[in-house]
Each structure stands twice: as C-alpha cells, then as structure tokens.
Structure 1
Amino acid sequence: MRRLVILGGGTAGTTVANKLRRRLPLDEWRITVVDRDSHHVYQPGLLFVPFGGDEKHLLEPRRKVLRNGILLLRGEIAKVDPEAKQVRLTDGDVLRYDYLVIATGTSSRPDETPGMLGPEWRRSIHDFYTYDGAFALRDALQGFTGGRVVVHVVDQPIKCPVAPLEFTFLTEEFFRRRGMRDQVELVYVTPLDGAFTKPIASRYLGRLLDERKIAVETDFLVERVDAERKTLVSYDEREIGYDLLITVPLNMGADFVAASGLGDELNYVPVDKHTLQSLAHAEIFAIGDANDLPTSKAGSVAHFSSEIFVDNFCRYVEGCAMTGRFDGHANCFVETGGGKALLIDFNYDTEPLPGRFPLGRFGPLSLLHETRANHWGKLAFRWIYWHMLLPGRRLPVPTLMSMKGKHRPDEEVRP
C-alpha cells in the first residue's frame, strides 16, 4: 500500500485529493488529507460580506467536500522530516508517507507589522481575508459616519492580488449608495508603483480609480502602524492618516514549512514552476498558494495547475517522465461596483490583454472591460466552485492560457 499525504484541505488540497482519488486504485493507495479546521471556507465570498452580501454557502464541512475513500485527519502540523518521510503533528502523532503534497496555502500575519495587531485590531484597523474579519468589518462599515478610509496592502505576494482593488471599488459604491460619498475620502495604498503588478492592467485599473476619485499612494512600504495617532508610517518616513484602516497584512506560508527547512524567507516551498515538484526533495510537491510560483496566489492558479499536476503525478509514480508543463495560467474577475466587473487572463509570459474570453470573438466574457456579464460570471462561480472545481471535475475553460480572442491594446483604448 503506497501512502499519499496531502497537508491542507483548502482549494488546491481538496481539488487534488478528489482528482487523485479517481485516478489512484484504492487497493493500492491510501490518501490522507490533514487540516486543522473542520470546515472549508469559500474565500471569494468573503469579499461581499462587509457590504451585506449573501452569507449562504460560505462554509461546508470538510468531510462533505472530500470523496469517499479519502481519510480526513484533523490536526496541527508541527514538522516534516523529509529524510524519514514523516509528518509530525503537534499532538505527537506521526504520519508516514511515500509522497507528500504541501497545500497549506498562505495566511495573513498582522503580527509581522509593528503596531498593527493591538487594541485597535478590528476596531479602527480591519481585514477582510478571514471569516471573522469580514464580519467584523461589516459592522464597522455600517457604523462609519465619515472620514478617511484607507485600503492598504503591506507587501506582495498576497492571496488574490486583485481583491484589495475590488474591495476599494465596492467600498466606493457602498458609500455612494448610502448618500455619503462626499463625506468619505478613499485612499488606496500599495507597495507597487501602480494599481496592479502588470503594466497594461495597471493602466486600466488606475483609470477606474481616478474616475471614482479614489486617491492612490504608490511605492508605500509600511514600517509600522501608529494606532494611537491612526497613522501608517513608511520606511521613507511618509505618513498616511486614517479614520478606518482596511489592511491586507503580510502574507506568509505555514510555520511548519520553516521549521522543516522546506521554505524560503516567507515560508513558501521552492518548486519547479512547471511541475510543482520540490527543488530539494523529489517525493514532495507543493501546490496552490504554498509554493513560490512567480504568478498570482489565486484560486484559478490552484485550479489550472492541479490539472497539470495530477496528470504529471500519475505518470511520476509509475516511473514515467512528467511531460505536463504548467504555464502560470491565471484569470480573475475584478468587481468594480455597479453590478459590473473586469476579467483578466494571463500567465508567466503574457500579461493581461484586452479581448474576449474564452471563445475568442464569441466571448461571452470581456477582458479588461467592465461588463455585467463579468459580474454575473463572478457570482456564478460560487456554484461552480462547490459543484465542479472542488469535486475535481474538469471545467469548460482551457487549462493552458490561450491567445485566442486577445489583442494588444492601443494606447488610446479606454476601459
């Protein structure tokens, strides 16, 4: 009996476990998923919670989303011993493996920024990437009577890099609908030199921020939060005051990755960017947000890379070469308010371009253009997530990025 242990039951871990359960014979393989939490969170849905969005189907029991035949073990991971091929849990249990998949993702670490995590945490300082944080922020927005609202990103990489922009656009719409937009100053603070990491998309998104009269503070590397003065302080001594701070703290991989000597300075596992195989240990793979891939830490990357990974893994364990090559494909809906959204589609080598997706000129979705169809596409993804992506079913979109329907933008093109 060969043993596959998957650490983490998030999007990547669950999807891969379910796909491999269908590919690996039960009489030859034991598949174990380890996670510290009992419920799976639909993280894209947290974006809408602070604005009174639908709370249904945000949580499902982890056992419910894993196929029969997969062993689910609830526990906290202490350390991996690659030489002994063992995983040690904090309660003292030891799991032996033949192959290990690390899928423990990335998480917010407000404790890494001086002054952020203190008495004002979830009073005047909030986050929205966590379940509890999203609901606390909903109450804060409802009670806000005016002043300066700052949406702030500590550093890259972060989970779903477009989410802070989406949150900013939805915040602008929220106050406008309440008839108090003129009482709120909105500021978007980023460590980047523009609205986004890719130049063409950054230009489009920057125009949308300008149109909505949202100020942008770029190249801001926060050194500390002065919670008493309600001020962000950068390393170059710039200061930005706030009445309500919505921050995206530093994101880091799991602590056990560092304790096991498997990660970089942010606890992400260095892997081959095409196969997701650890550069240090051939029997270890890191998927989803847990690795150091030079692309977005997004659910779409977990989805597209899992298609390549599963085929490669099944070949690898049979002694064959891994011929599949993940190209860094990512796509993301970007909510812009007013029932509209943008869509971006890119990979390692090609930045987001305008055009139509996924059927070329037939669309039906538009790239780098606000449409209602894109907004409905994002809302429909919740059903797709629970009923197709997590169960490991193939989605009707190309795994590898296609140039079909894309074109280079004219400098005068407007979003």
Structure 2
Amino acid sequence: MKRVLILGAGTAGTMMANHLQRKLDKKDWAITIVDQYEKHYYQPGFLFIPFEIYSEKDVIKKISDFIPKGVEYIKSPIELIEAEKNQVLLSSGWVLPYDLLIIATGCEIVPEEVDGVMDGWRKDIFDFYTLEGALALRDKFRDWPGGRLVVHISEIPIKCPVAPLEFAFLSDWFFAEKRKIRNKVELIYVTPLDSAFTKQKCSDVLGHLFPQKNIQLINNFSIPRVDAKNKKLISVDGKEVDYELLVTVPVNMGSPLIERSGLGDELNFVPTHMHTLQSKKHENIFVIGDASDLPASKAGSVAHFQAEILTENILNYIADKPLTAHFDGHANCFIESGYDKAFLIDFNYELEPVEGTFPLPGIGPFSLLKETKVNHLGKLAFKAIYWNMLLRGIPIPTVPPEMKTRGKKLDGLYQP
C-alpha cells in the first residue's frame, strides 16, 4: 500500500487529511499525519484575547478531534525530511517512508531575529501571534495606566497580514470603551511598508481611519534592532521611535525542520509552484499554507482555498495526469475596525481588493471594502465555520476556491 504523509496538523494539514480521506482509494493509499502537539489552536482568535473578547477555551481544541477516522495520527517531533530517499525521520529515530509528501509545517515567530527584542520580552515588549503572548498582553492591558503604545511590524511576510491593523484599531476601541483611558494612550503604528497594508487599494480605504482614530502612522521603517533599555525602535537609517509599551509582530519564518532538511529559502519557506502547489525541487512533494514561499497571504482562508485545489492536483498526480487545478492566490479576510464594525477584502494574485458584495453578487450579505456591522458579525461567525467546516474539509456553499468577479467593481464598473 502507498502512503501519503502529511507533516503538520495545523489548519492546512488537517484540512488535507480530511479532503484526502474522502477522495483517495483506501485499498491503495494510506494517510499518515504527524505533529508534535496535542492541541489545535484557532490562531485568528489570538487577536481577540488581549481585549478579552475571546478566552482560551474559544481557541483551543484537541487535534485528534479533527483527524478523520482511518487516518493515522502520530504525535512526534520531526527531525528531518530526507527527500532524496522519500522518507521522514522522527526524533525517536522512527523512519516513515512516503510515496507522496505534503508539507504543512506552517510558520512561526522568531523574535530573536531582531537584536534587543528578547531583552524586553514579555516585560514591555509583547506579541499576540502566540497564545502565550496574547494572554500575557491581556494581563498587561488590565492594569496598564496608559502611555505610548507602539504597534510594530518587523518585516514582511507575516501570518495574517491584516492582524496588526486590526490590533491597532481594536486598541483604540478598547482603551476608549473598556478601560476609559484613551486620552492617556498615544497610539502609533510602525510598518516597513510604504503604506498601511500590502495591497494599495486596501491601504487607500483604511488610511482615513488613522487620523479618525488618532493613530499615528509611521511607514518605511525597517528595523535592525530595539534598544530595550531605553525603549526605542531603531531603523536602518538611524531614525528612532520611542515606546512605553511595544506590541511587535516579530520576524516570521518557516519551520526549522525545513532548514535542517535543505528544502527552504533564507526564511525557511519552501519554494513552491504558485498555481499547482507542487514543490519546485521534488515532484512528489506538495506544499500548502504558511509553509510555502507563495506571494499569497499566509491566512486560514488561503489555506482553505488551496486545500481544494491541492486535493484535485494530488488526484491528478496519482493518476499520472497533468496538474490542471489552478490556485489563483485567492484570499478573503475580515478586518476588524473596532466599535463592532469590520471591513472585508477579497483579492488574488492578479486583482487588488475590489468593491462589491460577498459571497452572493448584489446580495452579500457582506460588503467588500466597506465598514459594516454585518462584516463584524461575519468575523465572529468565522470561528464556528472554522471548527465545524474548514478544518473538516467541508466546502463553504457559494464560496469556491477561485476568486469570482461577478458583482464586483473592476475598472470602475460592476461585473454582471
């Protein structure tokens, strides 16, 4: 019997296990998934924890609850991918041969990549990209008296590129409505980009929120180090930004496993064909989610769309057919703006975020590039969709993996 081996039981790996268990011929193929952890985290929920909108119980479940029956789940750290031998070495010394490998090892924050960050880590420098960081920041926010709060991005790419924006907007709301000390909080947003977001149309729409919410935007700020003793961000050209409390998005990198195995680029992301999701180096290796070097957002919605495409291409590969399924870079993200409102953006490799309705043309119920309460409700509802549909590989009705243009505004005109 042949084996599909999936490395990583996060969002992408779990979805692929569910898709393939339904699609592969069980007489010919066995599926094994390997992960060193027992808990599955709803990572988009980490954003809400510092503001006490979500708690731990909202974002944690057992990995085993989502692995389908018939899929072998091995709980173990992974030591090495030996691609030339078609096998994976576990830390125990156990060797797992494979016929087809899916890399879904994700990415992780590496705060030590910026000099000085660890000197103030979890004291006056925090992250919200980990559960531990989000909980520590929640505790800090509860009795923080106010001061200069800097929200900072170290470099791109990062997981969920809209999350730092959301954090800044929610901070404005939280200190105004919950803590009642907004007049004592100076909010500053520091980014290496030349605008607020990676997509210019989105930046144009969101840009007015910064003066409206009294948030200072500092762009083109590339950071080699933090002076934690004097509480300063130092840019490559010598500019400084003072802070009293720093919420940073550290450098994001792929798993060290990828580096050990010689399969990644300088950030440990796996070079991947952008449309087929096949490794550029090994034809029987496929990559999904945050582990790839694709110019697509590292977000759960993207992994969801990729999973449907990758499943089709794996079936094509097994049948010795051309990999005709085409991932177009489709991303769909809600952007919390505070005060029970949110934006929604929809884009792909070729198209910037566009105006219109989603998912139904002319009906919605969600509005693209507009701030609405319905979009906020959609953001909150996504948690239930994630646990009950996305992880289980269940397609969302009316939301195909390819970006659709019907009912959306392109070149000044809404498409019929």
TM-score normalised according to structure 2 size = 0.97
Say if 1:98 and 1:283, in contact at 8 Å, map to a contact too: yes
Letter of the 2:129 partner, please give it.
Y
1:307 aligns with: 308
Letter of the 2:270 partner, please give it.
V
Deviation at 1:197, TM superposition (A): 0.7
Structure 1 stretches (4+) deviating beyond 3 angstroms? none
Aligned residue pairs total 409
Alignment of 1:370-385 (within 5 A): 370-385=371-386
2:81 aligns with: 80
1:38 aligns with: 38
Deviation at 1:57, TM superposition (A): 3.1
The separation in 1 between residues aligned to 2:129 and 2:147, in whole angstroms, is 23
Secondary structure of residue in 1 paired with 2:186: strand
- Check 1:307–1:111 CA distance in 2 against 1; reply closer, same or farther (3 A cut): same
Deviation at 1:65, TM superposition (A): 0.8
Secondary structure of residue in 1 paired with 2:224: strand
Q: Which runs of 5+ in 1 are unaligned?
A: 411-415
Secondary structure of residue in 1 paired with 2:405: coil
1:24 aligns with: 24
2:409 aligns with: 407
Secondary structure of residue in 1 paired with 2:84: coil
Letter of the 2:400 partner, please give it.
P
| Equivalent in 395, 398, 401 of residue 400 of structure 2 | 398
1:413 aligns with: none
The separation in 2 between residues aligned to 1:369 and 1:126, in whole angstroms, is 31
Secondary structure of residue in 2 paired with 1:245: strand
Cα deviations by residue, 1:293-335 (Å, 9 ceiling, x for unpaired): 1111111110011111101111211111111100000010000
Letter of the 2:36 partner, please give it.
R
1:144 aligns with: 144
Alignment of 1:283-362 (within 5 A): 283-362=284-363
Deviation at 1:408, TM superposition (A): 4.5
Cα deviations by residue, 1:70-102 (Å, 9 ceiling, x for unpaired): 111111112111111111122222111111000
Deviation at 1:406, TM superposition (A): 1.5
2:389 aligns with: 388
Secondary structure of residue in 2 paired with 1:268: coil
Cα deviations by residue, 1:221-246 (Å, 9 ceiling, x for unpaired): 11101110011111111111101000
Letter of the 1:34 partner, please give it.
V
Cα deviations by residue, 1:126-169 (Å, 9 ceiling, x for unpaired): 00010111100001111210110000000000000000000100
Say if 1:353 and 1:409, in contact at 8 Å, map to a contact too: no
2:176 is equivalent to residue 184 of structure 1: no
Cα deviations by residue, 1:107-138 (Å, 9 ceiling, x for unpaired): 100011111113x2111000001011110000
Secondary structure of residue in 2 paired with 1:361: coil
Deviation at 1:54, TM superposition (A): 2.5
1:57 aligns with: 58
Cα deviations by residue, 1:266-303 (Å, 9 ceiling, x for unpaired): 01111110110001100001100100111111111100
The separation in 1 between residues aligned to 2:388 and 2:349, in whole angstroms, is 29
The separation in 2 between residues aligned to 1:335 and 1:409, in whole angstroms, is 27
Q: Which runs of 5+ in 2 are unaligned?
A: none
Say if 1:191 and 1:221, in contact at 8 Å, map to a contact too: yes
Say if 1:65 and 1:391, in contact at 8 Å, map to a contact too: yes
Letter of the 2:402 partner, please give it.
L
